């Protein structure tokens, strides 16, 4: 099955990255197309302090993307188990923004419109523009 939403980004998914230092990337797991949607307003509504997000990324359902979520009773979660997603700026390819994968869910499993939705928390971009481009 392929993603039925038109893609608007190509991202890299890194495994074994350190969320404390998101731009020291771990092992590249995949480069995939997806649909990135900002969702800051909805992401603020989570009741758990650590289950917040800024964006949603919809991917083909066969994409292997991982979070570190381990139930609501998750006091000892290992944040390094979650993937880091990196989006490169199309205008300035040396600029990139990393996102922490907060939570992953299957959407419409087994249906022709199935996908994976990764809830992402944006890190500060690595290189903020210092002048107008």
Paired tokens of 39: 């969702």
Judge whether residue 12 has pLDDT over 90. yes
Domains of the chain: 9-122 (2.40.10)
CB of 100 closer than 8 Å to CB of 121: yes
Least Cα distance to 15 among 84, 74, 92 occurs for 84
CB of 55 closer than 8 Å to CB of 38: yes
Which pLDDT band, with edges at 50, 70 and 90, does 133 fall under? Answer: very low
Beta bridge partners of 97: 87
pLDDT greater at residue 64 or residue 125: 64
pLDDT tens column, 20-75 = 888 888 899 999 999 999 988 776 766 566 678 899 999 998 899 999 877 766 66
How far apart CA 92 and CA 25 sit, in angstroms, is 19
Average pLDDT across the chain, whole number: 82
């Amino acid at each position: 099955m392929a993603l039925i939403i038109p893609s608007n980004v190509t991202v890299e998914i890194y495994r074994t990255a350190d969320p404390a230092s998101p731009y020291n990337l771990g092992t590249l797991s995949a480069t995939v197309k997806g649909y990135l949607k900002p969702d800051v307003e909805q992401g603020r509504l989570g009741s758990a302090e650590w289950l917040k997000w800024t964006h949603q990324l919809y991917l083909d359902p066969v994409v292997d993307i991982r979070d570190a979520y381990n139930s609501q009773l998750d006091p000892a979660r290992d944040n390094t188990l979650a993937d880091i997603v990196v989006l490169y700026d199309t205008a300035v390819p040396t600029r990139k923004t990393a996102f922490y994968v907060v939570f992953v869910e299957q959407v419409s499993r087994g249906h022709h419109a199935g996908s994976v939705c990764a809830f992402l928390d944006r890190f500060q971009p690595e290189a903020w523009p210092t002048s107008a481009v």
